[in-house]
Amino acid sequence: MKYSYYPGCAQHGTAVDYRISVEAVFGRLGIELEEIKNWNCCGALHVPDRTVKTALCARTLASAKGLDMATPCNLCYSNLMRTNTALQDNVLRTMVNEALTEKYDGNTKPKHLLEVIVKDLGLPKLMEFVKQPLKIKAVPYYGCLLTRPENNFDSPEDPKSLDNLISSLGAEPVKYYYKTKCCAGPILITNEDLALGLAKELLAMAKETGADCIVVTCPMCHLQLDAKQKAVEAKFNIKIDLPIIYFTQLMGLAMGFDPKELGLSRHLVPTDKLIAKIGGK
Amino acid sequence: MKKEPLSPESRDPAFKEQVLKTPAGEKIQTCMQCGICAGSCPVSHEMDHSPRELVRMVQLGLKREVLSSNTIWICTTCFSCSVRCPRGIHPTELMEMLKPIAIAEGIRNKNIKFDNVFSDVIKNNGRASEFLLISKYSLTEPGMINQLPFGLSMMAKGKIPLSIDRMENTRELDAIFKLGEKTGEPKKESKETKEKDKQPEQTKPEENEIAEGEAKK
């Protein structure tokens, strides 16, 4: 299995832990992620000009070299998916292509890494790699942009792929009514009070389920729930202390990796209790 | 939340037309005010006007009220409204489309400052380096100094590198950003694209069954 790989900006910054775990886990699964050369930002949610954003994503999609394009970030995934749909329009594609050295033909398929695991690799195959079934309870948190506004592998209202992944690793996915509710990451910088309020709702509800951790698929969600967890605790005078784990880190733990090889020491919320419960070092 | 009264005098048919001819505005006229958008929105309680109201205001051509509302800037772009609207209106896309119009009309706020910093960083480097973004934004928003301890805790974990991540070659970006200056408005998509847009593929039923079987163990 080989994919053209679009890491997105966060992998070189706030999501360095995600990157470490992706490299470890995908390496062992034998899934080749070939990073595209000289890649650019997808525009995130902060390049207001839609045409510019479309062109930024078109440039990325054009560099896939006939392979499917995998990406670890919900935001990048959502932007690539939307752009790809919009670029099926010949007029728009021709206009955008004027600015690109490598022209886009409209034929690249963007895929989130979770989709690569649950749909392309398949969970039965993944289970062959599980060395240490995880006897923990985990909250499956999908966030917004993994399934909305469009995706090719799960329901936007009640997605199941992450629940199923958690089960296949031997852990128990808890019922979590906020699984697709927004974490407000995109407005964190400009409207912190509101953003922390939303994060608090998610964290408090997750805590109530009695789970050992929240599993995420997106660097923005991780930033909000892990890095900002202390700020939420301080603002609302509550104790959460809930580790936020990337799904690739959860896979890595079940596959027998040392937590250090998965970037778990780089989280702001300590992960040692979780690791001890799993029986890791 | 203080709401400005809506006055019929402020109606602007040209604005309405401008919005209706974009892909995001195409179905605005079919809105039946059911409110599922407002009910689905995680932040509508903080908005001057809920997404439902905003759609109605566009129908009425209330340009000033629409563009000066905080609604389009508070939207977290979560698309809950877009996937639920029974009329196929995409309020999230509507908000996105209104942003450049508001900027062009001279509206100024924190969000626009951040978007400008972000766009500049991308234009010059091709990638969003957190360190560069936050330091540049802090120059315009002195309150950001309060985030210093947080920034340092992120740095201590190696999550905000001081080295600026940039593309090896940013030559193409000029042409890409010029495209924005040239076109200004988003172009209308063809019918064919719209049909495809409406029906995203779902997981095949047999795959769901297998997957659910595993979930129950």
Residues above pLDDT 90, as percent of chain B? 72
The mean pLDDT value for B67-77 works out to 95
C-alpha–C-alpha distance, residues A171 and A254, integer Å: 9
Statement: residue B1 has pLDDT above 70 = no
Instruction: Supply the pLDDT for residue B189.
Output: 41
Asked if B137 has any chain A CB less than 8 Å from its own CB, the reply is yes
State both tokens at B68: 């000066």
**Cβ neighbours of residue A217 closer than 8 Å, sequence gap 6 or more:** A72, A74, A112, A113, A114, A141, A142, A143, A146, A162, A246, A247
- Nearest neighbour of B193 by CB, restricted to A85, A153, A194: A85
State both tokens at A188: 């964190």
Residues 162-201 of B with CB under 8 A from A: 165, 167-169, 172-173, 175-180, 183, 186-187, 189-190, 192-193, 196-197, 200-201
Give the helix/strand (H/E) hosting A5: strand A2-5
- The SS3 of residue B31 is coil
Contact (CB, 8 A) for B103 and A48? yes
Statement: residue B185 has pLDDT above 70 = no
- The SS3 of residue A224 is helix
C-alpha–C-alpha distance, residues A234 and A141, integer Å: 23
Packing angle of the helix pair B91-104, A50-62 (nearest 10 deg): 120
CA distance from start to end of chain A? 31
Biggest alpha carbon–alpha carbon distance for chain A:
57
Residue ranges, CATH 1.10.1060.10, chain B: 8-107
Q: Is the dihedral of CA A51, A53, A56, A58 positive or negative?
A: negative
B22-48 pLDDT tens trace: 989 999 999 999 999 999 999 999 999
Report, at the CATH architecture level, how domain B8-107 is classified.
Orthogonal Bundle (1.10)
B137 min Cα distance to partner chain A (Å): 9
A127 min Cα distance to partner chain B (Å): 11
C-alpha–C-alpha distance, residues A227 and A220, integer Å: 10
Going from N- to C-terminal start, the domains of chain A cover: 2-112, 123-278
B118 min Cα distance to partner chain A (Å): 6
In this structure, chain A runs to a length of 281
User: What is the pTM (predicted TM-score) of this model?
Assistant: 0.90
What are the C-alpha distances in Å from B161 to residues A37, B120, B129? 21, 19, 8
Q: Walk along chain A (281 residues) and give the pLDDT tens digit of each residue.
A: 999 999 999 999 999 999 999 999 999 999 999 999 999 999 999 999 999 999 999 999 999 999 999 999 999 999 999 999 999 999 999 999 999 999 999 999 999 999 999 999 999 999 999 999 999 999 999 999 999 999 999 999 999 999 999 999 999 999 999 999 999 999 999 999 999 999 999 999 999 999 999 999 999 999 999 999 999 999 999 999 999 999 999 999 999 999 999 999 999 999 999 999 998 65
Q: Which residue has the tokens 């315009």?
A: B140
Contact (CB, 8 A) for B36 and B11? no
What fold, for A2-112?
Glutathione S-transferase Yfyf (Class Pi); Chain A, domain 2 (1.20.1050)
Give the helix/strand (H/E) hosting A195: helix A192-208
Residues of A in contact with B73 (CB under 8 A): 190
C-alpha–C-alpha distance, residues A167 and B63, integer Å: 51
A28 min Cα distance to partner chain B (Å): 23
C-alpha–C-alpha distance, residues B113 and B140, integer Å: 8
Give the helix/strand (H/E) hosting A173: strand A172-173
Confidence of residue B214 (pLDDT cuts 50, 70, 90): very low
Residues of B in contact with A186 (CB under 8 A): 76-77
If you average pLDDT over every residue of chain B, what do you get?
84
What are the C-alpha distances in Å from B35 to residues A109, A231, B145? 34, 33, 40
What fold, for A123-278?
Rossmann fold (3.40.50)
Residue B2 DSSP symbol: -
- The SS3 of residue A3 is strand
Asked if B213 has any chain A CB less than 8 Å from its own CB, the reply is no
Instruction: Supply the pLDDT for residue A271.
Output: 97
Instruction: Supply the pLDDT for residue B180.
Output: 83
DSSP assignment of A28-71: HHT-EEEEPTT-----TTT---HHHHHHHHHHHHHTTTTS-EEE
B78 min Cα distance to partner chain A (Å): 5
Statement: residue B123 has pLDDT above 90 = yes
Confidence of residue B2 (pLDDT cuts 50, 70, 90): low
Statement: residue B208 has pLDDT above 50 = no
- Nearest neighbour of A47 by CB, restricted to B78, B118, B157: B118
| Helix and strand counts by DSSP (H, E) for chain A | 12, 8
Residues of A in contact with B85 (CB under 8 A): none
Residues of A in contact with B76 (CB under 8 A): 144, 182, 184-187, 198
Residues 96-125 of B with CB under 8 A from A: 96-97, 99-100, 103, 110-112, 114-115, 118-119, 122
What are the C-alpha distances in Å from A82 to residues A166, A199, A267? 28, 26, 31
Confidence of residue B164 (pLDDT cuts 50, 70, 90): confident
B58 min Cα distance to partner chain A (Å): 19
Residues of A in contact with B207 (CB under 8 A): 119
For residues B114 and B2, which has the higher predicted lDDT (pLDDT)? Answer: B114
Instruction: Supply the pLDDT for residue B181.
Output: 78
Instruction: Supply the pLDDT for residue B71.
Output: 97
Contact (CB, 8 A) for A5 and A113? no
- Asked if B90 lies within 8 A of A149 by C-beta distance, the reply is yes
Contact (CB, 8 A) for B72 and B27? no
